[in-house]
Chains A and B, each alone.
Chain A
Amino acid sequence: MTTELKQVSFPPEVLARIVPEVSLQRHLSIGLRPNLRNFLEFKPIEIASHANNITTTNDNVFGSSIVKSGNSTIVTTVTLGVVENTNSSTSTFNNNNNNNNNNNNNLTNDQFTSIYPVIDIQRGRSGAPSDEEMILSQNLYETILHSRLISKAALKINHCGLAIKETDINSDKDNIQIFYPDIHPQVFVNLPSSSSTLKKSYSFVIFCHVKVFSKISTIFDLCYSSIIDALHDLKLPRVYITDFSSTKISVKSRNSNTRGLVGVSKSSLNIDLNNELYYPLELSSEGGISCNFGAIKTVKNKQEDEDITMENEEVVELLADLEGEAEESTILSRISIIVDGNEKIKRLSLINGDINSEISLDILQRAIDVAKLRSRND
């Protein structure tokens, strides 16, 4: 005897969890996405440029940005490091700088540099960064490097100052004065260590920390716009060197005749907090807008008035700005495009992950068109 199996039906939200692909197809067949957007509709982004006070309340932060899309919030902060230039590289980009100031096309790739992003996604786990975070960081690094956004010349520290300490014996307070070769040329030349300061050249290194709250979809686009916004906000400070005479104190020891040294201060690099001397980072090109697309084969129910029979047609549909579990797990053919304001494509990545929903030239063309349109609107 066979027992009859009852047909089980699930409410839509349960179906979406257990068979996301079926749920997605059912949505698409009625011309709607699970997140209730149109196929080529993007999720709105809010960029709170200059509306945050991270930069003003933290002395070590020089640029910041908060980007929101739905509940996802991205907080990007820019901190700085300094690296000493090797002599050969200094001379090359100085020359280039003189010859073709406004012509980036003649510059080779090694005249550009990138930022060093660390992505930190709030995901309820502690420990080492996940694969996703590492891949995202690397992607952002490479994207910014190859989009020729930041030239090495823009990060070069041109006028490195020198701090002179005068100890006031009466109050036992140190009076530190900072001199710059361009602001105080007279004084600077006479300083004892000015020549050695001028000989060395330094460049800034840009570190980005990107904290992602409430991640629900792919966040490359959001991180990218957040970083670009933070870079626009970035103001570089002046840097000075303290070269105070080191104090050597000998301590006699019974067992050996060597003399120990106590309290030797080394020359060190410091950031001048005078924000009147801050200057904005010169970006070599526009950052542009990053968009992502997915392609999926759907079955369309074509209902024709005269005909009673329904004709099923298979089409590969293009969806913009993927969001949610159903779309992310089911749609494997992806396109990611960055287009700048001049409709120039800065980055294009294409993954044909799904053999059935292959990205055809036609679909790619449509995606590029949409991306260009979006960059224009923004």
Chain B
Amino acid sequence: MILSPAERAYLYESLVQKPAIRPGARSDHQFRPLEAKTGFLPNSNGSARIRLNDGSECIISVKSKVVVTRGESSLIEVDIDVPGFRDDSNFVSNLKFSLTNLLITKFPVEYLRLTSKYSFKLFIDCIVISHSSYPLSLISLTSYLALKTTRLPLLTSEVNDEEIEEQPTFSDDWDNAKYIHPTFQPPIFITLGVIGENLLFDPSIEEEQVLENGLILSFYKDKVITPIINMNLATNSNNSNFKGLNQKLIIQSINLCNKYCPAIIKALDTLIEQDDENDDTDNHIF
């Protein structure tokens, strides 16, 4: 139990106000401040880390492998590791299902195509070093940064290998490596808390304890996409406020995400740019 009954009641009352009074004076649609770093793992094609001010931290590494396209059921494989949870626990499995499902269905796999026969396969490994609130949006934002900065070696052999049996060969100069696609913006997840008539972006752990429901929306190419699901975000507690939600709130949440999420994507892109500029001077992450 994180909050006492009195604290719960107080927090609940402040959050159902119109507009909601959130701890830390955040507005409804404001994310918690985060600190990010990309491209710090020398052995990975792409890597990213996000730290939140409450100590949550997630590191993602993206590695690639050349595969025969026809032999693979999917070109993306996701693995998530959360300390304190077994890999086959419901918590980890659901995070994995969500992220795998989003990337498999929405990731433009044509970007990974090398030749008519071969493709890159991406292995996305996530480690949630610590987390307090439900970590899906944290993982998803980190995966955005990692995928966005993933660089794949430059193919030097022919693209067309239908006629001749040719194996892909790559340039051995890492400076020639290319990003997955110059304008590519990976899909992300947004967590929304439902309380009264309010929708709160990126609820913190204390807020999760009193929420009436939770929504997870996905966002890609400047609009809300599927999957859209609802869930009890306070996984470890016995949330007594949890109840059904008004259908109108779903529509409202889509509108809100369409309105505010482009700013989040923009902020993440800016982070990457800044990180690139600092790259030469400061190459350590701690």
Contacts and interface: CB of A to CB of B under 8 A. Distances in A.
Interface of A: 247, 249-254, 262-263, 265
B170 A252 contact: yes
B167 A249 contact: yes
A262 B170 contact: no
B169 to A, nearest CB: 6
Identify the interface centre among B71, B167, B169: most chain A CB within 10 Å of its CB: B167
Nearest to B166: A249
Contact of B71 (A250, A252, A263): A263
Contacts of B229: none
Given A262-B66, A262-B68, 4 more contacts: A249-B167, A249-B168, A251-B168, A263-B67
Interface string B126-164: 000000000000000000000000000000000000000
Interface residues of B, number: 12
A262 B172 contact: no
Contacts of B65: 262
A249 B66 contact: yes
A254 B71 CA distance: 27
B68 A247 contact: yes
A252 B172 contact: yes
Contacts of B170: 251-252
Contacts of B68: 247, 262-263
Interface string B109-124: 0000000001000000
A209 to B, nearest CB: 20
Interface string B48-81: 0000000000000000011110010000000000
Nearest to B69: A263
A262 B167 CA distance: 10
User: Which of A247, A254, A263, A265 has the most chain B CB within a 10 Å cutoff?
Assistant: A263
Contacts of A249: 66, 118, 167-168
Contacts of B71: 263, 265
Contacts of B168: 249, 251
B82 to A, nearest CB: 21
Contacts of A254: 172, 174
A355 to B, nearest CB: 47
Contacts of A253: 172
Contacts of A251: 66, 167-170
A49 B71 CA distance: 40
B66 A252 contact: no
Contacts of B118: 249
Nearest to A169: B162
14 contacts: A247-B68, A249-B66, A249-B118, A249-B167, A250-B167, A251-B66, A251-B169, A251-B170, A252-B170, A253-B172, A262-B66, A263-B68, A263-B71, A265-B71
B67 A262 contact: yes
Nearest to A259: B167
4 closest A-B pairs by beta carbon, nearest first, are A263-B68, A254-B172, A249-B167, A262-B66
A319 B168 CA distance: 76
Contacts of A263: 67-68, 71
B65 to A, nearest CB: 8
Q: Name the residue in A253, A254, A265 with the highest tally of chain B Cβ atoms < 10 Å from its Cβ.
A: A254
A252 B169 contact: yes
A13 B169 CA distance: 79
A245 to B, nearest CB: 12
Contacts of A262: 65-68
A201 to B, nearest CB: 29
A365 to B, nearest CB: 53
A332 to B, nearest CB: 40
Contacts of A265: 71
Nearest to B167: A249
A108 B244 CA distance: 67
B158 to A, nearest CB: 14
B210 to A, nearest CB: 30
B226 to A, nearest CB: 30
Nearest to B116: A172
Nearest to A253: B172
Contacts of B174: 254
A157 B118 CA distance: 37
A268 to B, nearest CB: 13
A301 to B, nearest CB: 57
A254 B170 CA distance: 10
B89 to A, nearest CB: 12
A353 to B, nearest CB: 40
A362 B170 CA distance: 86
Contacts of A247: 68
A253 B170 CA distance: 9
A252 B170 CA distance: 7
A262 B118 CA distance: 10
Nearest to B71: A263
- Which has the most chain B C-beta neighbours within 10 Å: A247, A250, A253, A262? A262
B122 to A, nearest CB: 15
Interface in B156-190: 167-170, 172, 174
